[in-house]
Amino acid sequence: MEWAEVDLRRHPRMIVPPPGPLSNRLHDRCTRYFKGLSSQVKLFPVAFESGEGCILRDVDGNEYIDFSSGIYVATLGHCHPKVSEAIGRYAGMLMNAHDFTTPIKTKLCEKLADVLPGDLNGFQFYDSGTTAVEAGIRVVRAATKRNETLSCFSDYHGKTYGAVSHGQFRSRVYGAVRAPGAHMLPRPDAYRPIWTKPDKTIDTDKYIEFYQMYLDQGTVNDGAGFVLEPIQGWAGSIIPPDDFFPKLRKLCDKNGLLLMMDEVLTSWGRTGKWLCSEHWGVVPDVVTIGKGFGNGFPVTCVAVREPYKECFEAISASSSYGGNPMACAAALASTEVIEEENLLEHATYLGEVALKRLQSMLREHPIVGDVRAKGCLMGIELVKDKSTKEPFADAGAMVYQSAFRKGLAWIPAGHILRMSPPIVMDERALLKGLDIIDESIGEVEAELGYA
């Protein structure tokens, strides 16, 4: 991983206050035409030009430590030599062959069957997370010959109608109602629990009991599956209690539901495992894999257990771009890099280092209400008061902008500060990025009268 090491004597490197003049001019030119920007860009409209390893460079020459990975995508850092070479080789050999068999697709399928847990050995490839989620939901319905699906409050599964119907419905442009048969339920959040035990710890049994009650009384007994993220990403890296998913697996089996994990964000080393669900010893029936799967190249996967492989035939699963040779080369190279560089272990270690540093921020800062980390998936929750836990979105925007100006490229989500550094990052660079966040929180607290 030497190629990805950050020289902290010169990084981050701010030549001009960002966004600089070239960034502003280029952004103005682009946004005359390009609309629908994320909150990341709206809060800090810098224009990036290049990246290498864990460093991003803007058009003004400023160099940032990357705590975003291109929104959880460049898990192996920018332009990993092996991944870039593999994409380039197939770009000069064969760009697309629809869903015909190719040698590189065959090698990728064999590798996936080798590294994935249990009997997850049926695959179909796509070019976006949303498309994979939609296909996965169709597999769940085809396998059970039933229609109703359950998901959880604040989940995020994509931006097409079926996918968004299984997450937080934020806009009427998707429709006045959710897709037929899509149901939403609360899920355990250790910081903001609904049901607790007498000792104030979260009571996961109460959630499972409520799910059973809802299945019995809130559905029409046509349940196909439970669709959810193992760790909620958009909601702020919300990590469930360790006993939740084993209990949910039993609930699904009892009621004939398939368990579908949307691991577009959490898979391929992000949390220190191939699949995040492995942390709890649970094998999903259907799982979506994406983002870091191709380290930036648009490739995603739906993987299913042995009994459900033939359901891909029932849903007409093929797509125009899914499984093209460049995509398969990127995914196979990314998988091999994770193995060769022992990155699952490294991501786990970075998460342990980060959590200790984050916990010190929790103790020291009055507006830090909660912190969490699982591998290189991390979050800080900002609140106006630790006793009331009232979200502090204004502070979130201010801290995000302050740290960005200091040379940290990362992710906002209202009052949640999200971090997803590349899993190739060295410990010193990780701690440097967290120091920048710590300093920025302190500055914002002083400005808001908390210090």
Instruction: Give 245-281 pLDDT, tens digit per residue.
Output: 999 999 999 999 999 999 999 999 999 999 999 999 9
Section 196-204 average pLDDT = 94
Residue 27 has pLDDT above 70, yes or no: yes
Q: What is the pLDDT of residues 292-327, one digit of tens each?
A: 999 999 999 999 999 999 999 999 999 999 999 999
Residue 8 has pLDDT above 90, yes or no: no
The CA-CA-CA angle for residues 404, 410, 413, to 5°, reads 105
Residue 177's pLDDT band, with cuts at 50, 70 and 90, is confident
What's the confidence (pLDDT) of residue 175?
A: 73
CB atoms within 10 A of CB 371: 22
Q: How many residues does the chain have?
A: 451
- Residues of each domain in the chain carrying CATH 3.40.640.10: 81-340
Give the span between the Cα atoms of 81 and 281, in whole angstroms: 33
* Tokens 């990084």 -> residue: 11
Give the span between the Cα atoms of 51 and 57, in whole angstroms: 6
What's the confidence (pLDDT) of residue 174?
A: 72
By percentage, how much of the chain surpasses pLDDT 70? Answer: 99
Section 330-342 average pLDDT = 98
Q: What is the pLDDT of residues 104-143, one digit of tens each?
A: 999 999 999 999 999 999 999 999 999 999 999 999 999 9
- Residues of each domain in the chain carrying CATH 3.90.1150.10: 2-79+358-423
DSSP letters spanning 46-82: --EEEEEBTEEEETTS-EEEESSHHHHT-TT-BT-HH
56, 55, 32: which is closest to 46 by C-alpha?
Answer: 56
Look over the chain and give the mean of its residue pLDDT values, rounded to a whole number. 95
Q: What is the pLDDT of residues 79-100, one digit of tens each?
A: 999 999 999 999 999 999 999 9
Residue 170 has pLDDT above 80, yes or no: no
What's the confidence (pLDDT) of residue 294?
A: 98
H or E stretch at 39: helix 39-43
Residue 381 has pLDDT above 90, yes or no: yes
Are the beta carbons of 74 and 66 closer than 8 angstroms? yes
Residue 1's pLDDT band, with cuts at 50, 70 and 90, is low
Give the span between the Cα atoms of 357 and 346, in whole angstroms: 17
Residue range 2-79+358-423, CATH number: 3.90.1150.10
Provide the b/e sequence for 430-450 (b: ≥16 CB within 10 Å).
bbbbbebbbebbbbbbeeeeb
* Tokens 């190249």 -> residue: 297
E strands present in 265-352: 286-289, 300-305
Residue 404 has pLDDT above 90, yes or no: yes
Section 214-219 average pLDDT = 97
Q: Treating both helix axes as pointing N-terminal to C-terminal, what angle do 81-91 and 325-340 enclose, rounded to 10 degrees? A: 160
H or E stretch at 88: helix 81-91
CB atoms within 10 A of CB 153: 14
E strands present in 114-201: 120-126, 148-152, 182-185
Residue 328 has pLDDT above 70, yes or no: yes
Residue 385's pLDDT band, with cuts at 50, 70 and 90, is very high
User: What class is the 81-340 domain?
Assistant: alpha beta
Section 417-439 average pLDDT = 97
Provide, for the chain, the percentages of residues in helix, strand and coil under a 3-state DSSP scheme, each rounded to the nearest 5: 40, 20, 40
CA distances from 280 to 78, 201, 246, 355 (A): 30, 19, 7, 19
> Which phi and psi angles does 278 have, rounded to 5°?
-65, -25
CA atoms within 13 A on the CB side of 313: 3
